[in-house]
């Protein structure tokens, strides 16, 4: 049920429902266990310039459970510093880290998780392959005569 529906149902202010929800989520996710985590994914998302550091957040997820383990402000390796402290205190052994192709996270992983295997994030690999495939497709299409172009149109 959405916040507005709850507010209407209980005849209370939207902000009251939102405050209760935030309080509940803070308590629920205050301590997230990293003990059995062996595979993580690191990616950044754009949330708007209000956040500073050009509006990015760095998200770390457990690839086995899908749980969000850490959210850091910014998109540089500096944003992962608090995560390293949590990993050390939890004594978790990270075996695999999936990241996009940005060098900042890769160098951070090599320095701080030297035994972890770095895996390229599937989204970015697929995107690169699709981009290359489109370039080849366009080049071949340019080389065809008008009649042949009509035959392959729409086959993408």
pLDDT tens across 22-37, in order?
999 888 877 777 888 9
Q: In the predicted model, is pLDDT for residue 151 greater than 80? A: no
- Rounded distance between C-alpha atoms, residue 151 and residue 71, angstroms: 50
pLDDT, averaged across the chain: 87
> CATH number of 33-120: 3.30.420.10, 1.20.120.80, 2.40.10.120, 4.10.410.60?
3.30.420.10
Give the model's pLDDT for residue 51: 64
Residue 12 confidence class, pLDDT cut points 50, 70, 90: very high
CA–CA distance, 64 with 97 (Å, rounded to integer): 12
Q: What is the pLDDT at residue 74?
A: 86
Spatial CA neighbour of 155 closest among 139, 142, 143, 137: 137
């Amino acid at each position: 049920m959405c916040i507005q529906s709850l507010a209407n149902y209980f005849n209370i202010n939207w902000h009251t429902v939102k405050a209760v929800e935030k309080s509940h989520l803070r308590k629920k996710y205050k301590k997230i266990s990293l003990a059995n985590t062996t595979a993580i994914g690191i990616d950044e998302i754009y949330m708007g310039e209000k956040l500073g550091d050009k509006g990015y957040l760095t998200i770390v997820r457990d690839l086995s459970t899908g749980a969000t383990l850490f959210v850091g402000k910014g998109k540089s390796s500096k944003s992962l510093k608090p995560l390293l402290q949590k990993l050390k205190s939890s004594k978790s052994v990270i075996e695999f880290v999936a990241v996009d192709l940005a060098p900042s996270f890769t160098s951070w992983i090599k320095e701080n998780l030297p035994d972890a295997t770095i895996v390229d994030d599937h989204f970015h690999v697929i995107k690169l392959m699709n981009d290359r495939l489109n370039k080849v497709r366009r080049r071949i299409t340019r080389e065809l005569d008008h009649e042949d172009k009509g035959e392959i149109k729409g086959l993408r």
